[in-house]
Amino acid sequence: MGILNVTPDSFSDGGRYADPRRAVEHALEMAAAGADLIDVGGESTRPGAQPVGAAEEIRRVVPIIEALAPQVQVPISVDTSKAEVMVAAVSAGASMINDVRALREPGALQAAARTDAAICLMHMQGEPRTMQSDPRYADVVAEVGQFLDGRVEACVDAGIGTERIVLDPGLCFGKRLEHNLALLAGLPELQRRGLPLLVGISRKSMFGTLLGRGLEERLAGSLAVAAAAVLAGAAIVRAHDVAETVDAVKVAAALRAAGYRTTIQRSSTAAEREAHRGA
């Protein structure tokens, strides 16, 4: 999934593709580089980001989607939490809704149900402005799994079939480094009902903490996690650096298809995991 932020303030490429012509060019470049999806976002969800009104978000994303839809052979996703934006984007040609709030905003669940778009449900603790202030979990894998189970049930109750649903554990969205690492190690446990998993880790802050790298120096870390996530079962990797990520994912997918399996299996309960840590 190639990332197309048409925002002035996204953490990695804010402002770079705010011009519609440049945004469309970049999307076409990502598709040519091997992206299977293009994810268009008009509101930053970085830590500390300020909210954007629905009208402004529509103004940013809809012309891009309208311009892209007849030019690309791959599906277009809209990265939004607002019901009005979902409806406008799908009408413009988007076929997936990627929601960091998992359809919990007013009217979002009902709006998504009225479309035939695929839905990505993501876990986030708190809100973008404050999510990294002090995230806490007793067992992050279990808690994220329970949240995703609940959102899947809400979708099913609203008439959204599970064949339309993708799950995202929300790495770096209200998580510390140790939470992100635990979720990556626990990806097999987060595969609910056979639903596909999406992982978005490209250039994220965990690489600053783990590697001491700035934004433009996080490619190697991003590729390592992309490959590891695919080996652990991820179906979609959301990335800025499409060509490089496509290569990493192809290698990991080939290994997985050849029967490669990790030798360390996570325990099924929090108590057993804690016992392993102390061993």
What values do phi and psi take at 186, rounded to 5?
-100, 15
Catalytic residues: 204, 238
Q: Which of 169, 179, 174, 4 is nearest to 78 (CA)?
A: 4
Partners of 165 in the β-ladder? 119
- What is the SS3 string spanning the chain? CEEEECCCCCCCCCCCCCCHHHHHHHHHHHHHCCCCCEEEECCCCCCCCCCCCHHHHHHHHHHHHHHHCCCCCCCEEEECCCHHHHHHHHHHCCCEEEECCCCCCCCHHHHHHHCCCEEEEECCCCCCCCCCCCCCCCCHHHHHHHHHHHHHHHHHHCCCCHHHEEEECCCCCCCCHHHHHHHHHCHHHHCCCCCCEEEECCCCHHHHHHHCCCHHHCHHHHHHHHHHHHHCCCCEEEECCHHHHHHHHHHHHHHHHCCCCCCCCCCCCHHHHHHHHHC
Q: Calculate helix-pair angle for 140-157, 177-185, nearest 10 degrees.
A: 70
